[in-house]
Amino acid sequence: MLDFLTNRIQSSLKKIQKSVTINEQDLAEIIREIRLALLEADVNLLVVKNFIAQVKNQVLTNGLTSKLNPQQEFLKILHQNLVSVLGVSAKPINFAKNPTTIMLVGLQGSGKTTTTAKLAVYARQKNFSKKILLVACDTYRPAAIDQLKQLGKQVSIDVFYIEKTPVEIAKDALIYSKNNNYDLVIFDTAGRLSINSELMTELVEIKKAVKPDQILFVLDALSGQDIINVAETFHKEINLTGSIITKLDSNARAGAALSITHLLKIPILFIGSGEKISALELFHPNRIADRILGMGDVMSLLEQAEENIDKQAVKKLSHRMFSGQFNLDDLLNSLAQIQKIGKFSKIIKMIPGLSGKINASQIDEVEQKMKLYKILISSMTLEERKKPKLLKNPSRRNRIIRGSGRTGAEFNRLINEFESMSKKMSEFSSKNINFDSFFK
């Protein structure tokens, strides 16, 4: 997420982090590099100018070079201004009204239809809504209706569609939702390859018909500067209440998409952080600023762990881990729990002190190792996993190597690392650790 901008800014900051003092020339050079990083990340020129002006002003006002810890002071100034650019934390959507109505708008290819389903899943997971209706108002793109129906079926959420005009579909869907006690209705409207009067007229009519509580602009993180003019037109015609940025997990520079909130004062409500239907995160400007500056994002990591891992399974694993009973089957289950939270590369970036210090090749090496160990352990019988000493038998060892398609060296590496891990864990077995307090 925002890797380009994150890497460039962290690289610039490294030049002063080890310095005992900072002079005006050092600061001028770093600010210049940050300005270039923002521009290369496709952040709007006006946004960059405002950001740099604010940073310079605060640096001069605070007399930074005379401070006891100028590095931390400068980091604090950067953080405050990044949060300001990304926008204040948006008010959560109020799901109390029955039905709450949300209208998704945007250009074709922005990920609007998928986001419709993601938003529904998010609302259900958070227990904001129990009975949700997705409305297929995109009658222009041939696959749009089928796509929404398939997504609805996949996540067990109802989809409404009748062969009428988009405005009539929206009207009938609202009546249907009220008659059938739906508490959330999400309208997937038609996108276009570019703005045209027909699109805007239709959206204005749908807005009049359903009077949505939220009108959210869905935009692709890969979008260029032209998306700012597009968003401005949408905002002028139908008064956007927020935005959702999709594909932020890609290598997109995302500067243009992030600029919209500052230029149009439209809060970013959610970000798409992966291909999974559950990969939609509430947008927190302060947390994103933390990630960009290499300060991690512990809160998001804890929230994702809370939502995805099996507490009882982790509790059981922890007991076994520090009581000298940990075996290869436990290791396999541990890897599965880690994978539920997300990719290792994503987890690393959320841990303070590690973001920016572990390069892509090192992360890839760890991910490949986890994948390798999963393959090898899965090729063992349950008895072998629970009694690793059985693996000293050469015939068992050879059978596992052949069955997994891996090498003897890879098998030996797994066993050696597991034994080393077990030895370290056994050191804790004599200590009285109250695990229950961790899982309350």
Please give the annotated binding residues for GTP, written as ranges. Answer: 106-113, 188-192, 246-249
* β 184-188/100-105 pair status: parallel
Secondary structure (3-state) at 304: helix
Q: How far apart are CA 153 and CA 413, in angstroms?
A: 44
Crossing angle of the two packed helices 328-341 and 311-321, in degrees rounded to 10? 140
Residue 53's identity, in one-letter code, is: A
- How many angstroms separate the Cα of 314 from the Cα of each of 311, 327, 330, 336, 427? 5, 14, 10, 11, 20
DSSP string, 122-190: HHHHTTS-SSEEEEE---SSTTHHHHHHHHHHHHT-EEE--SS-HHHHHHHHHHHHHHTT-SEEEEEPP
**Which residues have C-beta within 8 Å of that of residue 47, sequence separation ≥ 6?**
38, 85, 259, 262, 263
User: Which residue, 82, 93, 106, 44, is CA-closest to 245?
Assistant: 106
Q: Where are the alpha helices (DSSP H) in 265-359?
A: 285-292, 298-308, 311-321, 328-341, 344-349
User: What is d(CA 287, CA 284) in angstroms, rounded to the nearest whole number?
Assistant: 5
The phi and psi torsions of 282 (rounded to 5 degrees) equal -65, 135
384 phi and psi angles, rounded to 5 deg: -65, -40
Distance CA 74, CA 374 (A): 44
Distance (Å, whole) CA 92 – CA 175: 26
Residues making up the annotated binding site are 106-113, 188-192, 246-249
